[in-house]
Amino acid sequence: MLTLAISSRTLFDLNEAHQIYLDQGVTAYREYQLQREEEPLDPGVAFPLVQKLLNIKHPETGAALVEVVLVSRNNGDTGLRIFNSIEYHGLDISRAVFSNGGSPYDYLSALGVELFLSAHHADVIGAIEAGYAAAHLMTRKAAAHTDDQVRVAFDGDAVLFSDESEQIYQSGGLEAFRENEHARRHEPLNPGPFSAFLKKLHDLQSLFPAGEAPIRTALVTARSAPSHKRVILTLRGWGIRIDEALFLGGQDKAKFLQSFKADIFFEDQLTYVESASEHTATGHVPYGITNQKKS
């Protein structure tokens, strides 16, 4: 089973309530939530993804293959509206952590989590430093469903792979990067923060007959030939099949993600995150040298 931990602000649209918290403090926020306890929250940016994931069942037994755990900085009191909204929308979510302002990523190990999605940047950084696949989702309204298949897109360097090649690009430029990738084309890249999550998706896909998997994956990278070879051989060495691979040579990724109909895209560079998030739920992965420089 794949276990996903998701924050309340990415599952539901809590922007109005959060703004009250920022402007007026925790007491006003608590009163606001208690007064609206029976008022269901609208879906948030990750809601369609969660809905699709919860519908994935074992092809033979019909057992659920994905569990979603809610993690929230609310306390149990203010969190009741969130659980009421889960019930209203018919989501099969039974486990939750309400940390009352604390960092919920402390509980990821105990929950057995393999992916953590949050609107709280510091929590995401803490989770990545602790070795989890984690991403910061920019909150917005939920997009409409296109179909029932879950489509997950990944950047390559500093997401699926380590940032070793990106470090060479940053220090020596494009030519140094190309020379390094050519010289080391038969050496696999080291795993990045999302390599284990991709492997988990691959394992779930393998349960289904060819062409019938409810999950479809894509690599969407700024790399181009000839640096593509090392990527392909690395995935082959890991024993992972990725459904689609787009080597875009530095082109903007947003339109390609629209064509792929991605439910979510994981990317380390904010430039691509900002353009992609206009059309696709996009998780910023604050990992690697690019994000260290920005910090």
**pLDDT confidence bin for 294, thresholds 50/70/90:** low
| Contacts for 224 with CB less than 8 Å, ≥ 6 apart | 247, 248, 249, 250
Domain boundaries, the chain: 2-137, 150-294
Of 287, 292, 17, 290, nearest to 139 by C-alpha is 17
Q: What count of other Cβ atoms lies within 10 Å of the Cβ of residue 252?
A: 13
Question: What distance in Å separates the CA atoms of residue 117 and residue 284, rounded to the nearest whole number?
Answer: 10
Q: What is the pLDDT of residues 166-209, one digit of tens each?
A: 888 888 888 888 888 888 888 999 999 999 999 999 999 999 99
Determine which one of 123, 155, 263, 268 is catalytic.
155
Do 2-137 and 150-294 show the same overall fold? yes
Q: What is the pLDDT of residues 130-170, one digit of tens each?
A: 999 999 998 776 777 678 999 999 999 999 999 998 888 88
Q: What is the pLDDT of residues 89-115, one digit of tens each?
A: 999 999 999 988 878 878 899 999 999
**pLDDT confidence bin for 39, thresholds 50/70/90:** very high
3-state secondary structure (DSSP) of residue 139: coil
The token pair that represents 262 in the structure block: 């991605």
Question: What distance in Å separates the CA atoms of residue 256 and residue 246, rounded to the nearest whole number?
Answer: 8
2-137 is classed in which CATH architecture? 3-Layer(aba) Sandwich (3.40)
CA dist list (Å): 118 to 17, 68, 73, 128, 161: 16, 13, 11, 12, 21
- Bridge partners of residue 71, in order along the sequence: 7, 97
| Contacts for 263 with CB less than 8 Å, ≥ 6 apart | 48, 49, 52, 150, 151, 152, 280, 281
> Domain spanning 150-294: which superfamily?
HAD superfamily/HAD-like (3.40.50.1000)
Element (H, E) at 153: strand 150-154
Mean pLDDT of the chain: 91
Residue 147 known to be catalytic: no
